[in-house]
Structure formats: C-alpha cells, structure tokens
Amino acid sequence: MTTRITVAACDVQIGDFIYNGLGTSKHPTDAWEVITQVNTVDGLIQLITGRLDMPHGEFWFELDESVVVVRHPPAEPETPVPKPHNKHGHKH
C-alpha cells in the first residue's frame, strides 16, 4: 500500500514519487515520477526524477517547503521458514 504524505523538502527520499503536472498521457498516474536524486544546492533542495544522462525532471524547493509525495512503506522482512532437523540417509 502506498501513502500520499506531505513532508518538508529536506525530508524527501530517493524512491518517493512526486507529481509532475498533467504529463502527455490522459492517465493521471503517469504524471507521478520517482525521485532518483536529492541534492542540496545553495541552501535549496533539488529533486531529480529520471536519469541524468537522459531527459529528466528537476524540482527546486526551500528546505522547509511542503512537498506532497507518494511513499511506499518499507518492506517487511520475511520470516525465515525453519528447516526440519531430521535427516534421512540414503541406503544403497
């Protein structure tokens, strides 16, 4: 399950999704882009979506400016399945 939350720009994390306008598609979920880089530049937060070597999006915010993001909760660790301790020997 994902959660839409409002955080300060300085608390945005790589992997969060940010809304990037209407986009070119009519499907509204296509306008949410994953943040791949978070930088601090001259007292501002720069959020980058996509890869730097390709066309990408940039967003600039004040450190304490509110940003709405979609964040996936951290994955819960899988509980290990106990292995049986009884061994069966092969008789030939």
| Residue 92 falls inside a structural domain | no
- Among 8-12, 80-84, 85-89, where is mean pLDDT lowest? 85-89
Q: What's residue 4's pLDDT?
A: 87
Q: How many residues does the chain have?
A: 92
| Residue 18 falls inside a structural domain | yes
Q: What is the mean pLDDT of the chain?
A: 81
Q: What's residue 73's pLDDT?
A: 79
| Residue 12 falls inside a structural domain | yes
- Among 3-7, 31-35, 50-54, where is mean pLDDT lowest? 50-54
The total number of structural domains that make up the chain: 1
Q: What is the CATH number of the domain that holds 27?
A: 2.30.30.30
Rounded Cα distance between 9 and 4, Å, is 14
**pLDDT confidence bin for 25, thresholds 50/70/90:** low
Task: Specify the pTM.
Answer: 0.68
The two three-digit tokens of residue 88, written as one number: 């069966």
Strand-pair partners of 36: none
